[in-house]
Chains A and B, each alone.
Chain A
């Protein structure tokens, strides 16, 4: 079986992997901040 059909990391160099990790962390942080913002919105304006 051809490797490129089963291994998604075949051509990903070290720099590419590091970039993916950095982006993953950024996405995670942004989503957590978005959830905190929604929670704060309800805490401020919602029913006590």
Chain B
């Protein structure tokens, strides 16, 4: 990268940390540190919610997915607006009026202590591992692109966020998120502008879309009723609604954002911002990838986007095999390129050129699949080449300033998610575990110090997980799979809370039943898409929970205040 780009990245990281620390003022009490004194306006919370959800994985992975698979991933978000509306009139007012620090604290007020403890421990377990992956994914990419050691890349991604989250609390994190969102959107728009400007003369946006559309990459909707397909209209709308309700309504990393809002209406407004803007923003992210595909239809394209994997294959005993693939790849690219200009121009001639273009593209994809399999065999790790498409494009094809802006945007996306997750991990461990189970009576100052130390602890823990994430791959997969067993079930417990006759025993045993049924479905019919697991879990908890009527178990345990 050009020194100007490095200057942009360094200046941005320093500014974000400095600004976060500046906002640490007014956080000398627990409510200030953990909930910004419940004082944030709806637009700050709304941007914080969006920034937390949009991680670096989204920025590099989803753009890559747009380039290789098109815009159909947008269906994943179809349920989000509906989920936000439902949450706005159900769980959000309940949590805000209960004046709680965590979503799980509410469960003790409504049901009992064991449901609270179980849900909070499940959250800590899954979110800590997930936060490690959130740090690891961009760190692995940065280390492959720039040749850094992985611990250095992890430190660059994880430590600034941990610093301002530990010292400034939610106040610092939320305001930092506002800037992070600005830099992310600027980065995306900058890339779109540069891609369109970089197209051959006469192609422009119109021609680029025509090229991308020829391969079906603009086909957003799949109306098949197939539960084994993850990205269909119905799985996105129904399964997606339950998934988004689970994430935004019961996951402390999101709940904590709107618990910091001034009022119920401000909290609702913050979620409605996502209801309006999430799908357009996601479409923008995917469009970047689609346009990058169109760009490479006119220019030379790497066979493997991951430079570290390519170098490893070339240094191995199978370099000759790779060279042979490269030759076939160049021929297919040339064939595709020869037809691209005609397709982009449109008109009558474009019809036959479309056939040549799609045939060339099919060979390009076939050879790439062989190269990816070769790289996986040589390196012994999953290629995840899709995550390198946009980064390789930005670093090698765009003029100075834009690579710096893009890397800053990737770091912004990573930091905003990590900081919010560290906030929520610290809050849950202090409020639901330490203050509830270890030390029930202590001063405000004591809990504040413990909260800061907990944030620092989780920051360090997640960075260590990130460094070892590649080796821990299968363990993290197990934890993530385990997480998918209970995500919908926890939503079921919150939905049960809205039913007047529901009681504590119903919530507790319903939670186990929900997790059990999802686990059984997952093992017995693994082809069913995970999006449906949330629906199954939530509905099971509701059904089983309601079997325990008013005569069921009484509330157990009391809140410590």
Q: Which of B15-60 contact A (CB under 8 A)?
A: none
- B122 interface residue (CB < 8 Å to A): no
- B243 interface residue (CB < 8 Å to A): no
Closest to A34 in B: B279
- B212 interface residue (CB < 8 Å to A): yes
Q: How far is the CB of B116 from chain A (nearest CB, A)?
A: 13
Q: A34-B279, A38-B220, A47-B354 given. 8 additional CB < 8 A pairs? A: A5-B94, A6-B500, A11-B93, A23-B272, A34-B280, A35-B221, A41-B213, A46-B214
Does A27 contact B275, Cβ atoms closer than 8 Å?
yes
Q: How far is the CB of A16 from chain B (nearest CB, A)?
A: 7
Closest to B210 in A: A45
The docked-state distance in angstroms from the alpha carbon of A20 to that of B98 is 21
Stretch at the interface among B81-89, B322-330, B472-480: B81-89
Q: How far is the CB of A29 from chain B (nearest CB, A)?
A: 11
> With A8-B90, A46-B216, A47-B354 as given contacts, are A27 and B85 in contact (CB-CB < 8 Å)?
yes
- B164 interface residue (CB < 8 Å to A): no
Does B219 contact A46, Cβ atoms closer than 8 Å?
yes
Does A38 contact B216, Cβ atoms closer than 8 Å?
no
The docked-state distance in angstroms from the alpha carbon of A47 to that of B265 is 45
Does A38 contact B275, Cβ atoms closer than 8 Å?
no
The docked-state distance in angstroms from the alpha carbon of A27 to that of B78 is 12
Does B81 contact A31, Cβ atoms closer than 8 Å?
yes
Does B209 contact A45, Cβ atoms closer than 8 Å?
yes
Residues of B within 8 A of A20 (CB): 88-89, 268
Q: How far is the CB of A26 from chain B (nearest CB, A)?
A: 8
- B276 interface residue (CB < 8 Å to A): yes
The docked-state distance in angstroms from the alpha carbon of A12 to that of B214 is 51
Question: Can you list 29 A-B contacts with CB-CB less than 8 angstroms, sorted by A residue number?
Answer: A1-B110, A4-B94, A5-B106, A5-B110, A5-B497, A6-B498, A6-B500, A8-B90, A8-B92, A8-B498, A11-B93, A20-B268, A27-B85, A27-B272, A27-B276, A30-B276, A31-B81, A31-B279, A34-B279, A34-B283, A35-B221, A38-B71, A38-B283, A41-B213, A42-B219, A45-B218, A46-B214, A46-B219, A47-B214
> With A31-B279, A38-B221 as given contacts, are A47 and B216 in contact (CB-CB < 8 Å)?
yes
Does A47 contact B213, Cβ atoms closer than 8 Å?
yes
Q: How far is the CB of A25 from chain B (nearest CB, A)?
A: 10
- A14 interface residue (CB < 8 Å to B): no
Q: How far is the CB of B333 from chain A (nearest CB, A)?
A: 21
> With A38-B71, A38-B283 as given contacts, are A6 and B110 in contact (CB-CB < 8 Å)?
yes
The docked-state distance in angstroms from the alpha carbon of A43 to that of B500 is 49
Does B89 contact A8, Cβ atoms closer than 8 Å?
yes
Residues of A within 8 A of B413 (CB): none
Residues of A within 8 A of B216 (CB): 46-47
Residues of A within 8 A of B354 (CB): 47
Residues of B within 8 A of A46 (CB): 213-214, 216, 218-219
Closest 10 CB pairs of A and B: A45-B213, A46-B213, A8-B93, A38-B220, A45-B209, A42-B218, A4-B97, A5-B110, A27-B275, A46-B218
Does B209 contact A41, Cβ atoms closer than 8 Å?
yes
Does B218 contact A41, Cβ atoms closer than 8 Å?
yes
- B114 interface residue (CB < 8 Å to A): no
The docked-state distance in angstroms from the alpha carbon of A16 to that of B93 is 12
**Among the listed B81, B90, B214, B265, which residue makes an inter-chain contact with A27, where contact means beta carbons less than 8 Å apart?**
B81
Residues of A within 8 A of B74 (CB): 38
Q: How far is the CB of A9 from chain B (nearest CB, A)?
A: 7
The docked-state distance in angstroms from the alpha carbon of A34 to that of B220 is 11
Q: How far is the CB of A10 from chain B (nearest CB, A)?
A: 7
**Among the listed B89, B98, B209, which residue makes an inter-chain contact with A4, where contact means beta carbons less than 8 Å apart?**
B98
- Taken residue by residue from 198 to 220, chain B's Cβ proximity to chain A (1 for < 8 Å, 0 otherwise) reads as 00000000000110111110111
Closest to B217 in A: A46
**Of listed A11, A20, A42, residue having the most chain B CB within 10 A:** A42
The docked-state distance in angstroms from the alpha carbon of A8 to that of B283 is 33
Residues of A within 8 A of B275 (CB): 27
Does A6 contact B497, Cβ atoms closer than 8 Å?
yes
Residues of B within 8 A of A4 (CB): 94, 97-98
The docked-state distance in angstroms from the alpha carbon of A11 to that of B254 is 24
- B505 interface residue (CB < 8 Å to A): no
Closest to B276 in A: A30
Residues of A within 8 A of B94 (CB): 4-6, 8
**Among the listed A5, A38, A47, which residue makes an inter-chain contact with B98, where contact means beta carbons less than 8 Å apart?**
A5
- B456 interface residue (CB < 8 Å to A): no
The docked-state distance in angstroms from the alpha carbon of A16 to that of B210 is 46
Q: How far is the CB of B104 from chain A (nearest CB, A)?
A: 14
